[in-house]
C-alpha cells in the first residue's frame, strides 16, 4: 500500500469518527434539550397576550440559559466596551410627584455612576467603528441600592419577545461554519433572519442610518428602550421612557470614514473617551423622561407601550429634562472595573418598576444568569466595581468568591437567635418608601398561552416615520448602507425579500436600494403615510458646547507662515478644542520668520479620518512641500470628501487646488463668474486671504464651520479619497 493510500484511509477513519458527532438538522422538528417537541419558539408563555411572562415557561428558560452560557469568560454580546466614572444630579424636585427615588428628586444629591459604552456584535478584540448598535449602560450607586439603566444608542430593538434573542444574535454573529465575518451584519445569516422577521424592520433602518456609526461616545444618545414605571409614595404608577442626550450634540461618522478608522485606529472611540477625560473635556449628558399617565396606556392607537420595536414620538409625548450626568474619571484598571462590571436590568430601587414588556422580562432572567458564568458564581456583586454604596445585609451564604465574613449563628428568616435580624423593614407596606421596595400592584388576568398581542402587529409604519424624518443626506446614507450590506449577501432570494420589505416602508427607498443590488422592484407598496418626527434626525441635535472637544489637524511644513498658524492654534485651544500640528516629518519645522514650530505628529502616522476638521498653513515654501507630498494632498481631499470643515490659510489654497477639490478658484471669490456649478461648494471651507491677519470675523466663521460638524451639500462623488 502506498503512503498516499495510507493517509487516505487514516483521514477516512477520522472522518468516520467525526461523523458520530455530526448532527444534520435538515428535515427535523424543533425540540428542547430533553427531546420534547416545541409548539412555538417565537413567543414567551404569558398570562394573556399583553400579560406578564410566566416562570413556568421551561422552553424560554432553557433557551435563554443555554444562550447565556455559550461563551466564557467574554460577554456573548457587548464584549468590547469602554467605561468611565462620574456623577448624576437632578435639576430639581419636580419628579417627587412621580417617584420616591431620591436620586431623581433631590437636587442636592450627586449620585456616583459608572457608565459602560460598547459595541454589540464583535469580540473583545474587534474594532470600535463597525456598523452596529452601541450599548449605553449606567450603574447608579444610590443610597437605596444600585439602579442599572441598561440601554442602547437606539430607542428600539430588533425583536418584540426575548425568546427570539438567541436567534437574533446567532444570526448576527460570525457564521458558525467558518466564523466570519467579525463585527459585521453584512452577511447571509443576519439578512436571512431579519427578512423572515418583519418586526425587525424599524430597528433595521436605524442600523442602516448613521446612528450605527457614532463619532464618539461623547456624541451618542442613549435610551432605556423599554417602557418602565415610576411609582410614587401613594403607589401610583406613571409609565416612563429614559433618554440620554449628549450636550456636545449627536454626531456620526460616514461609512467610508468608519471603515478606514478600523484600520488606522481600531480603538478610536475608546481612545477618544479616555483622552477627553484625561484632558478635562468631560462628557456630559442630559437625562430626559417621557412620562405617560397610567390612564393613557391605550391612548396611542398605533403604539403599544409594551412593544420594544416602537417609539413614542416626541411630538406626542415631549421629553422632559430632569438632570445631568458628567463623566469625569477614567477607571484605574480595565479588567477590575470595565471588564468585571456586571449590569443587571433587574437592579432597580424603590420608585422604579417594570412593565409586562416580553423582551424586558426575558432580560430580567438573562442578565443575572449570564453574570453567574462570567464572574464565577453568585458573589459577583461583591466585586468592588459592583458593590452598592448602600449596606448589604441578608442570609445569602457561601459560594465561589465569598469575600465577607458573616458573624453570628442565624443565617435564616425568621430567627430568634440573631435577634430577628436582618429584619424585614417593609412588612405590610402597600406602596414603596425611599428605602423599601414594594412591587407595583398591577391587575393581571388572562389565559396562559404563547400568543402575541395584536397590538404588536404593525412592523412598518414607524420605519416609514424614521425614513420620512431624515434629511436628504441621511436618506442618501441609509440607502447606500442597505446597498452595501445586501451587496454582501449571496442568495438573491434574501435580497429580493428585503426589497419587498422596503417597498412596504417607502417605494422610493426600495427602488433606490434595488437599483444597486440587481433586484427588480414590484409595483409600489402601501402609500407612504407622510408623517414625520423632526427629533429623529441628527440635524436637530447640534449640541451646545461649541468647538470644545473637537479634534483639529493643522498641516504645516518648513517655511510655514507661523503668524496665521499660531493665531489659529491659540484661538482653538482657548475654546478647548484639541489641536495637533502635523508635518511631513515629526519633531519641528522652521517657520518663515526663522523660528521653530514644534510638530505633534508626522502626517503619515495619522489620517484625516481621525480628526473633526483640517486646517492648512500658509507660506510659499511650506505649501510647495505640501503640494509635492501625496499624503498631504490626500489628507485634505479625504477631509473634504467626508464633509469636514476645511480651514485654508493664505497660499495654502494651492494645496486645495492640487487636491482638485470643487471649491471656488481665487478669482471666483473676488466677484468673477464661478467656475464651479454647485453654489454650496464652499460650505464649510473657510479661507484666509494671503497677507491677511486673522480677525474676529475669520474666527467666527471657523467656529461656525466646526460646530456644524459636517457639510454634506458638497459635490464629492468625483473625489478619489
Residues belonging to the active site: 78, 152
Please tell me what DSSP assigns to residue 87: E
SS (H, E, C) 320-382: EEEEEEEEEECCCCHHHHHHCCCCCCCCCCCCEECCCCHHHHHHHHHHHHHHHHHCCCCCHHH
| Ramachandran class of 535: left when φ > 0, alpha when ψ lies in -120 to 50, beta otherwise | alpha
The 10 Å Cβ neighbour count of residue 699 is 18
**602 Cβ contact list (under 8 Å, min separation 6):** 582, 583, 584, 585, 586
Helix, strand or coil for residue 657? helix
C-alpha to C-alpha distance for 685 and 6, rounded to whole angstroms:
72
β-strand pairing of 81-90 with 111-119: antiparallel
Please, are residues 76 and 122 in contact by the beta-carbon 8 Å criterion? no
Please, are residues 386 and 392 in contact by the beta-carbon 8 Å criterion? no
Please, are residues 387 and 381 in contact by the beta-carbon 8 Å criterion? yes
Lookup: cell for 146: 444600585
Does residue 319 have a cis peptide bond before it, meaning omega lies within 30 degrees of 0? no
User: Bridge partners of 688?
Assistant: 649
**119 Cβ contact list (under 8 Å, min separation 6):** 78, 79, 80, 81, 126, 128, 130, 132, 133, 134, 135, 183
Lookup: cell for 353: 418598576
Please, are residues 464 and 505 in contact by the beta-carbon 8 Å criterion? yes
Does residue 138 have a cis peptide bond before it, meaning omega lies within 30 degrees of 0? no
**366 Cβ contact list (under 8 Å, min separation 6):** 64, 67, 68, 162, 165
C-alpha to C-alpha distance for 158 and 310, rounded to whole angstroms:
10
CA 396 to chain centre: 36
Helix, strand or coil for residue 583? strand
* Burial label, 160 (beta-carbon count in 10 A; 0-12, 13-18, 19+): buried
User: Bridge partners of 47?
Assistant: 448
| Ramachandran class of 179: left when φ > 0, alpha when ψ lies in -120 to 50, beta otherwise | left
The distance in angstroms from the start CA to the end CA of the chain is 61
Give the H or E element holding residue 274. helix 268-278
C-alpha to C-alpha distance for 655 and 633, rounded to whole angstroms:
6
Amino acid at each position: 500500500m502506498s503512503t498516499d493510500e495510507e493517509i487516505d484511509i487514516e483521514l477516512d477513519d477520522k472522518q468516520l469518527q467525526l461523523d458520530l458527532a455530526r448532527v444534520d438538522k435538515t428535515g427535523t422538528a424543533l425540540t428542547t434539550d430533553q427531546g420534547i417537541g416545541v409548539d412555538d419558539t417565537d413567543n414567551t408563555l404569558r398570562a394573556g397576550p399583553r400579560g406578564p411572562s410566566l416562570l413556568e415557561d421551561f422552553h424560554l428558560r432553557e433557551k435563554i440559559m443555554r444562550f447565556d452560557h455559550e461563551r466564557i469568560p467574554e460577554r456573548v454580546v457587548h464584549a468590547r466596551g469602554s467605561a468611565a466614572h462620574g456623577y448624576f444630579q437632578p435639576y430639581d424636585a419636580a419628579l417627587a410627584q412621580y417617584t420616591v427615588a431620591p436620586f431623581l428628586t433631590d437636587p442636592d444629591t450627586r449620585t456616583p455612576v459608572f457608565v459602560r459604552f460598547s459595541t454589540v456584535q464583535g469580540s473583545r478584540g474587534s474594532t470600535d467603528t463597525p456598523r452596529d448598535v452601541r450599548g449605553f449602560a449606567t450603574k447608579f450607586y444610590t443610597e437605596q441600592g444600585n439602579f442599572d439603566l441598561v440601554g442602547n444608542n437606539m430607542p428600539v430593538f430588533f425583536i418584540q419577545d426575548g425568546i427570539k434573542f438567541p436567534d437574533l444574535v446567532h444570526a448576527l454573529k460570525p457564521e458558525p461554519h467558518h466564523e466570519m465575518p467579525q463585527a459585521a451584519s453584512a452577511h447571509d445569516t443576519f439578512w436571512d433572519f431579519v427578512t423572515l422577521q418583519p418586526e425587525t424592520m424599524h430597528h433595521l433602518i436605524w442600523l442602516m442610518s448613521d446612528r450605527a456609526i457614532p463619532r464618539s461616545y461623547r456624541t451618542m444618545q442613549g435610551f432605556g428602550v423599554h417602557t418602565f414605571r415610576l411609582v410614587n409614595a401613594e403607589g401610583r404608577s406613571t409609565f416612563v421612557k429614559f433618554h440620554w442626550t449628549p450636550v456636545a450634540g449627536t454626531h456620526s461618522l460616514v461609512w467610508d470614514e468608519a471603515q478606514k478608522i478600523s484600520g488606522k485606529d481600531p480603538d478610536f472611540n475608546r481612545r477618544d473617551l479616555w483622552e477627553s477625560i484625561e484632558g478635562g473635556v468631560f462628557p456630559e449628558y442630559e437625562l430626559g423622561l417621557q412620562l405617560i399617565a397610567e390612564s393613557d396606556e391605550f391612548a396611542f392607537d398605533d403604539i403599544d407601550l409594551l412593544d420594544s420595536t416602537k417609539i413614542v414620538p416626541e411630538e406626542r409625548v415631549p421629553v422632559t429634562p430632569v438632570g445631568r450626568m458628567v463623566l469625569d474619571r477614567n477607571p484605574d484598571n480595565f479588567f477590575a472595573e470595565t471588564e468585571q462590571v456586571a449590569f443587571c436590568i433587574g437592579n432597580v430601587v424603590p420608585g422604579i418598576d417594570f412593565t409586562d414588556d416580553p423582551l424586558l422580562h426575558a432580560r430580567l432572567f438573562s442578565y443575572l444568569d449570564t453574570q453567574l458564568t462570567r464572574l464565577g458564581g453568585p458573589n459577583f456583586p461583591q466585586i468592588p466595581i459592583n458593590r452598592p454604596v448602600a449596606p448589604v445585609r441578608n442570609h445569602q451564604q457561601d459560594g465561589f468568591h465569598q469575600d465577607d465574613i458573616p458573624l453570628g449563628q442565624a443565617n435564616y428568616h425568621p430567627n430568634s437567635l440573631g435577634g430577628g435580624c436582618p429584619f424585614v423593614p417593609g412588612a405590610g407596606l402597600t406602596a414603596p418608601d425611599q428605602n423599601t421596595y414594594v412591587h407595583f400592584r398591577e391587575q393581571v388576568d388572562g389565559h396562559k398561552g404563547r400568543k402575541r398581542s395584536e397590538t404588536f402587529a404593525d412592523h412598518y409604519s414607524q420605519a416609514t416615520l424614521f425614513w420620512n424624518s431624515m434629511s436628504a443626506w441621511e436618506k442618501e446614507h441609509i440607502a447606500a448602507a442597505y446597498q452595501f450590506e445586501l451587496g454582501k449577501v449571496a442568495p438573491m432570494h434574501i435580497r429580493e425579500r428585503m426589497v419587498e420589505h422596503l417597498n412596504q416602508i417607502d417605494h422610493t427607498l426600495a427602488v433606490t436600494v434595488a437599483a444597486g443590488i440587481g433586484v427588480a422592484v414590484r409595483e409600489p407598496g402601501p402609500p407612504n403615510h407622510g408623517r414625520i418626527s423632526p427629533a429623529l434626525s441628527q440635524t436637530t441635535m447640534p449640541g451646545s458646547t461649541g468647538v470644545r472637544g473637537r479634534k483639529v489637524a493643522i498641516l504645516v511644513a518648513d517655511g510655514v507662515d507661523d503668524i496665521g498658524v499660531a493665531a489659529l492654534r491659540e484661538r482653538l485651544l482657548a475654546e478647548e478644542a484639541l489641536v495637533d500640528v502635523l508635518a511631513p516629518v515629526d519633531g519641528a519645522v522652521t517657520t518663515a520668520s526663522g523660528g521653530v514650530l514644534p510638530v505633534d505628529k508626522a502626517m503619515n502616522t495619522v489620517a484625516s479620518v481621525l480628526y473633526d476638521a483640517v486646517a492648512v498653513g500658509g507660506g510659499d515654501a511650506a505649501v510647495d512641500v505640501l503640494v509635492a507630498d501625496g499624503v498631504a494632498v490626500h489628507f485634505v481631499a479625504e477631509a473634504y470628501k467626508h464633509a469636514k470643515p476645511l480651514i485654508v490659510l493664505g497660499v495654502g489654497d494651492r494645496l486645495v487646488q492640487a487636491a482638485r477639490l470643487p471649491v471656488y478658484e481665487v478669482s471666483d471669490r473676488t466677484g468673477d463668474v464661478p467656475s464651479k456649478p454647485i453654489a454650496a461648494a464652499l460650505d464649510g471651507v473657510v479661507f484666509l486671504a494671503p497677507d491677511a491677519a486673522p480677525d474676529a470675523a475669520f474666527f467666527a466663521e471657523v467656529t461656525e464651520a466646526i460646530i456644524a460638524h459636517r457639510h454634506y451639500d458638497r459635490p464629492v462623488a468625483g473625489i478619489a479619497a
